[in-house]
Structure 1
Amino acid sequence: MKRIGILTGGGDAPGLNAVIRAVVKTANTLFECEVIGIRQGFEGLLDSKGTLPLTPDIVRGILPRGGTILGAANRGNPFARRIVQDGREVIEDVSDLVVERIGELGLDTLIVVGGDGTLRICLELFEKGSPVVGVPKTIDNDIRGTDVTFGFDTAVAMATEAIDRLHTTAESHHRVMVLELMGRNAGFITLEAGIAGGADVILIPEIPFGFDSVFEKIQERARAGRYFSIIAVAEGARPEGREQIFRMQGDMIRSPRLGGIGQFVAEEVAQTCALETRVTVLGHLQRGGPPTAFDRWLATR
């Protein structure tokens, strides 16, 4: 009997459990293959207790669940693993151990579900001779070679609902509401949710913005008697002539974390337009919870 391994790496996204379920059901029903789950991304391959058998009974009922029953790790790069040695942190390459472990487990194929970082690791393992297959996953919808990735539709739905809710309170109190959304250097979530939710201003990383045009739009609405506005801004958006804003700088292991552009925009608007302004950072609500019907379907495919 052939044996398949599956792991989920990087940040979670709605639809991961649907992928796991589809792999297990297809492998067992159509091909009579055994499926082994790897816990906590690539870290599970370095842990003697990091695996578990996956059967149709185990994955029953997980289709509508958010997250991943296998767990995930953002810091599990086997080519640059952070360890503590003699009281200090050092970086080591344990990829050979991962390749060896794949062989020890008798895996004919390892399915790696992840975003761009995880898929880069997948490629490097493939180049070292490991039988790996990558499945693209990200709420950001920015993986080359894909039209849409599962998790994106759910994130857009959540962001659109947030805009709908902010509209009512903004109109009631005559406020400018700034909503900061995820997406890193891609503005797909902000653009689609902004259009769907009827945002008055949409700011995305792909197009550096000028504050003058933002101010003019807000003031134009105020002159027309509409003293409220919705600004949807992607976390990676930046004003013309300025750098992106980070809430945490990166290092050789961790990527820098974007954040703060929403507050920056809100302060500039409040100062120039003399309107009460509030900022909302939707954050990980875009990642969590049940996937939409579309994401369940796409992940199952």
Structure 2
Amino acid sequence: MRIGLLTSGGDCPGLNAVIRGAVLHGIKSFDDEFVGFQRGWRGLLDGDAVPLTRTEVRGLAKEGGTILGTSRTNPIEAPGGGVETVRRVLDDHGVDAVIAIGGEGSLAGAKRLSDAGLPIVGVPKTIDNDLRGTDYTFGFDTAVQIATDAMDRLRTTGQSHRRCMVAEVMGRHAGWIALHSGMSAGAHAVLIPEQRVPMSELFTWVREVHERGVAPLVVVAEGFLPEGFDEEFAGGGFQEDGRPRLGGVGEYLAAQIAEGAGVDTRYAILGHVQRGGAPTGFDRVLATRFGMAAVDLVRAGGWGRMVALHGTEIVPVDFTEALGGLKTVPQHRWDQARALFGR
């Protein structure tokens, strides 16, 4: 078979490991051929393809980013897009199937193409770990580790000055990165989009910790809504898909804590540093297994499905299972973390 690969949406550590796992498994196990469409769905619509051989993927598991590039192009709605365009490009390049590696938006486009009869399978990708149908997505573990390392450093400088430190991490609608990195770093408060927290309660947590002679650490997801706000902080314009670029809630909270809790406070926005660099060992293995399983799914003709992690096993699930809403932090996980806040 001749299989096309593309990476779509936001980048994250592990994308290259998926590409490597798929190409090596396909070539060595089935004598398949591979091409990569550059810049996600945009490259497929433009017919911008490059060959993917064993040479091109050598050593990729440890590399961050994606050698194919990415974009947030919608294959149906974008200029020049549509089912017939995709069908024509696949025919022109002799591609028998496409493995689409992406998040909710990318896989929604893949589902529409599959529903129209095109041979598409998916690999779930979201650094926020908020995609349904899979227990974990690659890139999430790396983001948590990067955030934890940064928070460890913030805590030492905060302790030196008896300051409160606020760390803003990614998480538009789901607070998984904030929750996991905050618990890992021993944060004294974690604020996530799923939970409203009164400022008075936050001030109490900060004061209790500060009065014990400890520098408070507050972790906040970029999509957290402070008391009195109905929209997220978006100070960075808009993305290709029209969504606002979030950021700034950490700065706001630092000012509020300094005034309301009476504790000198500084903030750090980790931003895209969480997306970059080499993936962790866990993410390398998970991404490799996803790539290999995606090839098996192609060979089985499992169109309209994606590979997913259930427990420790990789299984195929329908796109609809992944696209039925975001996987957010459940109440019991928040309650568990909250027991550690403040004193």
Give the percent of matched residue pairs that are identical in Structure 1 and Structure 2: 47
Q: Kindly state the Cα deviation for residue 245 of structure 1 after the two structures are TM-superposed.
A: 1.9
Task: Look up the match of 2:213.
Answer: 225
* CA–CA distance in structure 1, aligned partners of residues 137 and 51 of structure 2: 27
Q: CA deviation at 1:13?
A: 0.8
Asked if structure 2 preserves the Cα contact closer than 8 Å seen for 1:37 and 1:54, the reply is yes
Give the match's secondary structure for 1:258: coil
Give distance in 1, aligned partners of 2:33 and 2:229. Answer: 53
Aligned to 1:87: none
Alpha carbon RMSD of aligned pairs, Å?
Answer: 1.6
Provide TM-score, normalisation by structure 2: 0.81
Instruction: State yes or no: 1:81 paired with 2:78.
Output: yes
Residue 252 of structure 1 and its aligned partner are, at CA, apart by 9.2
Deviation at 1:251, TM superposition (A): 8.5
The answer as to 2:256 corresponding to 1:268 is yes
1:147 equivalent to 2:142? Answer no
Contact 2:6 2:41 in 1 (8 A): yes
* 1:6 counterpart residue number: 5
- TM-score w.r.t. the length of structure 1 is 0.92
Partner of 1:69: 67
Contact 1:80 1:253 in 2 (8 A): no
- 8 A Cα contact 1:180 1:235, kept in partner: yes
Following superposition of structure 1 onto structure 2, how do residues 23-38 of structure 1 map, counting pairs within 5 Å?
23-38=22-37
Shift of 1:223: 2.5
Find the counterpart in structure 1 of residue 44 from structure 2: 45
Q: What amino acid is the match of 1:245?
A: F
Contact 1:201 1:214 in 2 (8 A): yes
Of structures 1 and 2, the one with the larger relative CO (CA 8 A, separation 6+) is 2
Distance 1:162 1:286 in 2: 10
8 Å CA contact 2:188, 2:209 repeated in 1: no
Q: Pick closer, same or farther for the CA change 1:22–1:260 going to 2, 3 Å.
A: same
Q: 1:237 aligns with which of 200, 209, 224?
A: 224
Following the alignment from structure 1 to structure 2, what is the Cα–Cα distance between the partners of residues 186 and 283? 15
Pair 1:164-2:162 in alignment: no
> 1:118-157 maps to which residues of 2 (within 5 A)?
118-157=106-145
Aligned residues: 288
Q: Verify: 1:102 aligned to 2:81, yes or no.
A: no
Structure 2 residue identity aligned to 1:272: G
Runs of 5+ consecutive residues of structure 2 not aligned to the other structure: 290-343
Distance in 2 (alpha carbons) for counterparts of 1:275 and 1:158: 27
Instruction: Report SS of the residue matched to 1:278.
Output: strand
Counterparts of 2:228 and 2:262 in 1: how far apart (Å)? 24
The whole-number CA distance in structure 2 between the counterparts of 1:66 and 1:186 is 23
> How far is 1:208 from its partner?
1.2
